[in-house]
Structure 1
């Protein structure tokens, strides 16, 4: 329990310092604890330490563990940060408060249908393939305006952009590009930055950082 509280305090202090250096308010940055692959016993100490936002990669895994955890602790906000199959759109809309991986027209249509059916819409981010990597999900930079237009036409409100920069390169230029794309398209939110680079992301405009290892330790 103490370890979880200490790690959380350290990450929050780092966010606050990065925000201060960028002349931003730390309160404007949402820390998402990436709890994928971690069981309830590992998650509970972070909830007890005051963490409320959690991120999962898979709908099935989240559905297996979060309903019970949410029954124990109120005020949890659940973020889907992994790729979403169109056939899981309805389950995702039902379970998650935010979806960070909207990336293609077929998913826009599936989400619009699910939101209309369930009468709720999670906060939505378009994932941008910021490094133009073949193996990664995300909408191509050139296709972003068309996808945003399609989402608007389908009745979805997109509030921000999400990106994962290429591994093993300096992430700052990619964060700056995502910030510029969000600004250009009038979107207030930027989901960017992970355990190794969240401070840089905060300095370059991140509103949501997705931190796993720095909060939970090395993955099982």
Structure 2
């Protein structure tokens, strides 16, 4: 089936490249879940876990809640005696660990999902959501073919692997893997929301 390339002389042996034997895999230090959001007609890259200090994973949702506590959203208006009893909100954004993947069509007609950004209003000013996970290549354009993210979604991990070579040396590297996701989801992103105003507290 195979032979060595060269001057055409037939060889009585074949070279086999070394393959990896038993390897140890650590827990993921990053986990990104790609999912479809039919309500928003787009997809999301949810940073479930982020690489923290000492290469320990940090829960993305808990990190968002800590950030939200330090950067609260502007409070809603309060109802007055002669004023309106409802108020209008242009947008209710998704959490900052939900990275938008926006549909885009290439000149040749191919459909892609492009990593985008999102603005979250806070009491200290607007905050621009950007990717932090290395799996999403922060700082560089990031595209996925549209069909890569099915309705079941995709779960991608980045983790350490360790193995020994034939001469006994220890090898350690960062590996990546992906598999089936957990189905579609909803980010909570909404536009043009009308809500009831709350009454001002009594003095």
Which bracket does the TM-score occupy, shorter chain normalised?
Answer: under 0.3
Q: TM-score, normalised by structure 2?
A: 0.23
Q: TM-score, normalised by structure 1?
A: 0.22
Which entry has the higher C-alpha Rg, 1 or 2? 2
Q: Which has the higher helix share?
A: 1
More contact order relative to length (CA 8 Å, sep ≥ 6): 2
Q: Which has the higher strand share?
A: 2
